């Protein structure tokens, strides 16, 4: 199984919570990723491409597995910071 996802990565939980609220109210994921994410993927609107099991850190991968395509995660903490994840595909 492979998954495709986009994410917004920030250092502060409070900012992640604020961005998640904005997304749930209809905010534009791509625009918020480009503006706020600290990950190099921000230049691609947060798109991480396709990845398989073991390619992402465990908390991130587990969150992606639980989502349906198109689904939005709650805030996920990893050693890199706080992520908001949108699952964009599964194959």
CATH at 78 = 3.10.50.40
Confidence band for 81, pLDDT divided at 50, 70 and 90:
very high
What pLDDT was estimated at residue 1? 93
Q: Give the model confidence (pLDDT) of 30-77 as tens digits.
A: 999 999 999 999 999 999 999 999 999 999 999 999 999 999 999 999
Host domain of residue 14: 2-90
Structural domains in the chain (count)? 1
Residues ≥6 apart with Cβ < 8 Å to 20: 72, 74, 75, 84
What pLDDT was estimated at residue 79? 98
What pLDDT was estimated at residue 84? 98
- Work out whether strand 81-90 and strand 47-52 pair parallel, antiparallel, or are unpaired: unpaired
Q: How many CB atoms lie within 10 A of CB 26?
A: 6
What pLDDT was estimated at residue 30? 98
What pLDDT was estimated at residue 52? 97
Structure-block tokens of residue 83? 């992520």
């Amino acid at each position: 199984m492979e998954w495709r996802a986009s994410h917004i990565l920030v250092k502060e939980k409070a900012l992640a919570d604020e961005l998640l609220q904005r997304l749930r109210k209809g905010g534009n994921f791509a625009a918020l990723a480009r503006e706020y994410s600290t990950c190099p993927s921000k230049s691609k609107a947060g798109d991480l491409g396709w990845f398989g099991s073991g390619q992402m850190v465990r908390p991130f991968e587990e969150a992606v597995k639980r989502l349906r395509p198109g689904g939005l995660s709650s805030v996920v903490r990893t050693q890199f910071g706080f992520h908001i994840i949108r699952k964009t595909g599964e194959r």
